[in-house]
Amino acid sequence: MNNRNIILAASFLTALLVANVSGPQYVYPTFGPSLANRFHWSSIENSVVGTSVFVGVSFSGPLCAYLVENYGFRITLTISALITSICTFLLSATYQDRLPSSYLLCAFYLVCMGASSAAAYICTLDSQAYNFKLYRGMSMGLTSASLGISGLVFSQINDKLFKPKGDQDGHDNSTFEFLIFFGCTAAAVTFLGSFILGPIEHTKHELPLAEQQPLVASNSANYASTAGSVYSFSTSSTQYEEEVQDVKGVPSKNVINYPKNIQIEDEETNLSGLTVFLDPVGFSLCLSLFIILGLGYVYLTNVGGLLISLSTDHLTPNETQHLRNLHISIFSVSNCVSRAVFGTLSDIFQRRIGIHRMWFIWFAAVGLMTSMVCLPISVSSDKDLMTYSVTIAIVYGIVFAIAPAIISEFGIKTFARNWGWMLCAPAIGSQLFNLVFGIVYDRELSRQGGQVCHGMACFRNTFIIGAIAAGLCLFIITAAIYRKGIYRFQSTSN
């Protein structure tokens, strides 16, 4: 193995590690209920705090992209590590009553924590997009999977090493200790990434001039006829990547060092701004992030409340924590596997069969709509909820794995900027659907007249609204696929 391959491997593995500690939105359900119980938040206050970290992750996208594009990976990751450590310290001090316990302050800390983790995650995706251009679906899918499994990793650490225990005042110190542990781990790994992540020299994909000329000629007409269209360059880039691997007599591992070459990076189309959002693919993808990721994250953050409301037995704090961590772990595993598998499959299907990646988003919308329709009908106790934790995690993972690869088709140079703006969609979606969740829950709680709402009636209207939203999303995606003509198999050869 030569030095460049060693550097590539180190960069790839470091990106996975940094991504794994860049998921406070998935770790929050592990310690969030303890915060709500400690400070006696109402359902709406808990919803505001619960989605704040996701809001920080999503709304900070444009700012994070600006940092990456203008200050580079090292400075961005260093800032991310610093903010993460400060915010977790402030949150843990608040939990210990050393700082004011306002839910708005806690939400602010979590917003900042989400923003810092988003910056780190954009660095990992940008690094993978530059260094593994021929395998964008796989590299981004695995990186996204590492992010998704962070909930499993830290929920299991919490379950095994930070069991609830009280001090002399009856307070539980395990949550305080877990927050300190998570903050230190995330900051250390992110700071390590600042020395390794980034574009690696001499990784541009090259092709002999004789092989390049026919492709440029054939694609230029296609681009001229569909100016400003993602389909024009996403199709051509897919064809080009196929030819890099399939050139006879040139093993794929030697493509980069092939003599008499020409680089295509400067010829790659780079679109950003309204051009992306006005494109049918860009618009439908934005709506998919808004609805599918918004609903998926609301389910994850409120799974503890769902379990308590649907439980037919009185659960002790230990049992509640264990059951919540079990569902978070199952969600994380399913989410992780979904991202890795479908990210890789999107590469294979697009290369070998010519199926565009938008079809994976279409199937995710179908899966979410089916889950939203069936869940309030078939679930009557906490034991019935496991199936839907798996199915919702799978569709959530599909979208998070495939979306960055589709965005990269608008151009590698503008990827960080485009992905940063796209991340605003799930932030708005999670806030909107979480507000609906809180209103529906509080209304039924007032009707029942207790401290805890019991039964599926607490959530039924939320899932009905979710099913309608998923149906709308499916319709828009279908229209985009038809308008762009990608319902046909794309040619994978000249």
Beta-carbon count within 10 A of 102 CB:
12
> For residues 287 and 303, what is the distance between their CA atoms, to the nearest angstrom?
24
Cα distances (angstroms) measured from residue 85 to each of 79, 82, 175, 361 = 10, 5, 16, 35
Residue 400's closest CA among 286, 280, 272, 289? 289
Tokens of 110: 């979590």
What is this structure's pTM?
A: 0.69
DSSP labels, 189-245: HHHHHTTT-SPPTT---EEEHHHHHHHHHHHHHHHHHTTT-HHHHHHHHHHHHHHHH
* Structure letter (DSSP) for residue 72: H
What local confidence, expressed as pLDDT, does residue 183 receive? Answer: 94
Domains in the chain: ranges and CATH: 3-200+273-484 (1.20.1250.20)
Q: CA-CA distance, 134 to 8, in Å (whole number)?
A: 14
3-class secondary structure for 33-68? Answer: HHHHHHHCCCHHHHHHHHHHHHHHHHHCHHHHHHHH
Six-digit token string for 120? 């780190």
pLDDT at 58: 78
The CB-side HSE value for 489 (13 A sphere, CA atoms) comes to: 8
DSSP codes, 374-443: HHHHH--SGGGSHHHHHHHHHHHHHHHHHHHHHHHTT-STTHHHHHHHHTHHHHHHHHHHHHHHHHHHHH
Q: Which residues contact 242 (CB under 8 A, 6 or more apart)?
A: 351, 492, 493
| Token pair of 149 as six digits | 């499994």
In the prediction, which pLDDT does 456 show?
86
Is 264 strand, coil or helix?
A: coil
Q: Six-digit token pair at 237?
A: 């880039």
Separation of CA 43 from chain center: 25
What is the Cα–Cα distance from 198 to 73, expressed in whole angstroms?
Answer: 6
SS3 at position 263: strand
Q: Own/partner pairs for 217-226, CB < 8 Å, 24+ apart?
A: 218/494, 223/269
Q: Are 240 and 211 a contacting pair, CB within 8 Å?
A: no
Quote the tokens at residue 37: 């119980």
Query: Which tokens sit at 476?
Result: 């828009």
The predicted structure's pLDDT at residue 104: 93
Q: What is the pLDDT along the chain (494 residues), one digit of tens a residue?
A: 578 888 889 999 999 999 999 989 889 988 888 888 888 888 778 878 887 887 888 788 889 989 998 999 999 999 999 999 999 999 999 998 899 888 999 999 999 999 999 999 999 988 988 888 777 778 888 898 898 788 888 988 988 888 776 554 446 688 899 999 999 999 999 999 999 998 887 544 443 333 333 323 333 333 333 333 343 333 333 333 444 444 444 443 333 333 333 344 445 567 777 888 889 999 999 999 999 999 998 898 888 888 888 876 676 767 777 888 888 888 888 988 998 899 888 888 888 888 888 999 999 999 999 999 999 998 887 788 889 999 999 999 999 889 988 988 888 888 888 888 888 898 888 889 988 988 888 888 888 887 788 888 888 999 999 999 999 999 999 999 998 887 776 655 44
